[in-house]
Structure 1
Amino acid sequence: MFGNLLGLSALALGWRRSVWSWPVQLLSGAVLIAAYFSGHVPGLIGKQLIVIVAAGWGWTQWRRGRQESGGIEVRFANWTERAVLVGATALGTVALAWLFLANPSLSWSPWADAYIFVGTLAAMYAQARGWLEFWFAWIAVDIVGVPLAFNSGYAFSGLTYSIYFVLVLLGLRAWWLRTRETRPATANVPLGASA
């Protein structure tokens, strides 16, 4: 319950484009790994491992972007960035599912676990870059993650992910509206890149 409440807090901070979203995500991931480990749910454990690694990287990206522009700029990814994100997500999901299928002890639900693991990586990467597609990636992960959490006996996690789903829709709207505001010319520079 504590890990999921931290996750909700991290989502709320991300919605507001607060750099503190990242350390809270990192802590949430650590707490949830401890909870999921006893349940032998590698997809959910893998998701939290990705949260921890990506939170560290995203934190540095947002801190650098904030120092350079004074705030966290958000934008839609361009078509090339989207294609790479979707293609890498699809290939990564297939590769990881094959690994799980070849080693059944790693996962009782190879495709769902692979999809959640790789989809989470895609979402966290897009968030760190300040792309609105981050919200779409989370929606795609939640569509599979919510039923998996309930089916795995983690009802509180499933309920929390259901709340995430609603908050993600609201966050997507907030970020989308933010992209429509007038911004300086450096707004299209990716986070962490020099202008």
Structure 2
Amino acid sequence: MSWTEAGFDVVGQHVLWTDLVGNVGALTTVWLAIRKTIWTWPVQFASSALLFVASISAHITGNALKQALFGALAVYGWIRWSRGTRGGAALPIRSATSRERTLVVAVMALGTVAVALLFTYLNSRGLNISWAPWPDAYIFVGSAVATWAQGRALVDFWVIWVAVDVIGVPLAFSSGLVVSGAVYGVFLVMVAFGFRDWLRQSHQLRAVTA
């Protein structure tokens, strides 16, 4: 057995070490995001790499593609936040503008349709990208949009994560990734705290700059 398939059994379920460690890293990423530290991004990159391996081992290609995208977006966020912290000035937390919110909704809707159709087509060609193309596409696109919004320090990214987790929890459990499903549930709680803290910081910043 290779290290990519190594794991242990819990209540009749085989848990991959890559899935476990990767999800611990994902939880750490959320905690770091609440604190708005630049370490959010390298930790997210590392956890995405591990979860990519776990998804490949579980034959969930769609989720693997999502983790690859997360890794790329982690680099984007790392660069953007690094520029924002030069000279000690942090990237300011703010709410999305009406235009940005319209863009988010449009991208999530159209992106989900486009990716779901792509997954369905690839499945028909025997590539087995996803056994649940529509929810997988929704999670794929929603996660990408949320990470993009986080990179821009938008408070709204927490709300997008809630919308993703509502679908992500049952899909992860039904895919056999028990740890991922449990972590999605914990995410919901952490997201609530993160949204509260970022919203408060954005209000404080607005009061100072007004």
TM-score of the superposed pair, with normalisation by structure 1: 0.91
1:192 aligned partner: none
Matched with 1:124 is 147
CA contact under 8 A between 1:22 and 1:59: conserved in structure 2? yes
Output the amino acid matched with 1:79. Answer: S
Partner of 2:48 in structure 1?
A: 29
Aligned counterparts of 2:62 and 2:159: Cα–Cα separation in 1: 19
Indicate if the aligned counterparts of 2:155 and 2:198 stay in contact, CA closer than 8 A: yes
Alignment partner of 2:36: what SS? coil
Contact 1:116 1:144 survives alignment (8 Å): yes
1:158 pairs, out of 181, 191, 196, with: 181
The one of 134, 138, 143 equivalent to 1:111 is 134
**Corresponding residue for 1:173?**
196
Q: Which runs of 5+ in 2 are unaligned?
A: 1-19
Q: 2:161 matched to which residue of 1?
A: 138
SS in 2 for 1:103: helix
Task: Name the structure 2 match of 1:75.
Answer: 94
TM-score between both structures, scaled by the size of structure 2: 0.85
Which residue matches 1:12? 31
Runs of 4+ in 1 over 6 A off after TM superposition: none
Map Cα deviations across residues 11-51 of structure 1 (whole Å, 9 max, x no partner).
11111110000000000000011111011112321221121
5 Å matches for 1:44-83?
44-67=63-86, 70-83=89-102
Alpha-carbon distance between aligned partners in 2 of 1:43 and 1:116, rounded to the nearest angstrom:
10
Instruction: Indicate the SS of the match to 1:48.
Output: helix
In the TM superposition, what whole-angstrom CA distance separates every residue of 1:174-194 from its partner, at most 9, and x where no partner exists?
Answer: 101111114554x9xxxxxxx
| Deviations 1:118-167, CA, capped at 9 Å, x for gaps | 11110010000111111011111111111111001111111111111110
Aligned identity (percent) is 42
Q: Which deviates further from its counterpart, 20-29 or 157-166?
A: 157-166
**Cα drift, residue 56 of structure 1:** 0.2
Q: Residue type matched to 1:167 in 2?
A: M
Q: Secondary structure at the match of 1:74?
A: coil
Partner of 2:14: none
Task: State which structure, 1 or 2, has the greater radius of gyration over its C-alpha atoms.
Answer: 2
In the alignment, residue 170 of structure 2 is paired with which amino acid? Answer: P
